[in-house]
Amino acid sequence: MITVVGSINIDLVATVGHAPGPGETTVARDYQVHHGGKGANQAVAAARLGAPVRFVGAVGDDDFGGQLLSGLDSEGIDTQAIKRVSGSSGIALITVEHGGENRIIVIPGANGTLAADALSPAVFEQSSVVLLQLETPPAFVAAAIDRAHDAGAEVVLNAAPAASLDALDMARVNWLMVNAGEAAYLLDEIESTDLNTARRHGQMLAGKFATGVVLTLGRQGALWIARDGSHGHAAAFDTNVVDTTGAGDTFAGAFAVARMQNRSIEDAIRRAAAAGALSVRRQGAQAGMPSAAELEQLMADAAR
């Protein structure tokens, strides 16, 4: 069982030729509504790959809340630990530019109401992997990490969006997962996808937080540094980029599935990179997430 603790949003997506600058109005070429939120995205990614998934989070009592719950139910995700609270559900305003790059504004809504009392003793039962992000309140994330660790689960923290980790007991986190920008933020360094610089940043993060590190680098693939000092790099898969929204979440969900399956860290990174590559071929965060069959086909093709 994978337990995902995190945010659930409605994504309002505008497709534009270029993102507007200060004081500029840009006319969108298209507008769509998708189900999203980093937590929900990662849960869907894991469920699509065949894993049993439980979700812990909150939605509002608005129309969006009902839609979001129905969407997760349709993916076979256990939603019993999702609270329905008064007020708005989480909303993300997204622009997707030509070439697939995106810019996102998140309005927390119900996600911002989450507290430790949402974590019942049964939440982490039978969980081999617990996956978390930073779109919910720090105190809630901290409590979830502590309880997941105490339950014996492997704890994976995707430190996104970039934020301080001071409130968290990182000794209880098995894997800190970040992209190049998030790594730079945590280290107060300049962002870089240069492999040598990225390796240095990964080593610095592993030393600073005394935990394993997974650093995703887009077209440069991903690298990892384990607590025992072992490390490696997985190249990116060639792909046709339509929309990068949700690629990192797909990577995280696929990584959690591989670890639940007791795959090695090297194999988990490789499979996560493949899943991420598949996800950018279609528009929408959850709409682009691959099935287990699609992932296995790409892995088989790559092995030839």
Condensed to tens digits (0 to 9), the pLDDT of residues 109-139 reads 999 999 998 898 789 989 999 999 999 999 9
Alpha helices in the chain (DSSP H): 38-48, 63-74, 138-150, 180-187, 195-209, 247-260, 265-279, 292-303
- Rounded CA separation 224/214 (Å): 4
> Are the CB atoms for 184 and 192 separated by under 8 Å?
yes
- Rounded CA separation 238/297 (Å): 14
Q: Whole-prediction pTM value?
A: 0.91
Active site residue 249: yes
List, for residues 245-286, the tens digit of each pLDDT value.
789 999 999 999 999 999 999 999 999 999 999 988 887 778
Q: Which of 117, 146, 166, 249 is catalytic?
A: 249
List, for residues 200-209, the tens digit of each pLDDT value.
999 999 999 9
> How high is the pLDDT of residue 266?
95
Helix, strand, or coil (residue 82): strand
| The token pair that represents 128 in the structure block | 């081999």
- Rounded CA separation 15/32 (Å): 8
Cα distances (angstroms) measured from residue 250 to each of 19, 81, 122, 146, 177: 24, 22, 26, 25, 13
Residue 252: other Cβ atoms inside 10 A? 31
List, for residues 82-109, the tens digit of each pLDDT value.
999 999 999 989 898 877 788 888 899 9
> Are the CB atoms for 138 and 168 separated by under 8 Å?
yes
> Are the CB atoms for 145 and 6 separated by under 8 Å?
no
| pLDDT average, residue stretch 17-38 | 89
DSSP 164-223: --TTS-GGG-SEEEEEHHHHHHHHT------HHHHHHHHHHHHHHHTSEEEEE-GGG-EE
Q: What are the structural domains of the chain?
A: 2-7+38-87+112-303 (3.40.1190.20)
- Please measure the distance between the N-terminal and C-terminal CA atoms of the chain and give it in whole angstroms: 32
> How high is the pLDDT of residue 268?
96
| The token pair that represents 210 in the structure block | 């005394």
List, for residues 157-169, the tens digit of each pLDDT value.
999 999 999 999 9
| pLDDT average, residue stretch 5-22 | 91
Determine the length of the chain.
304
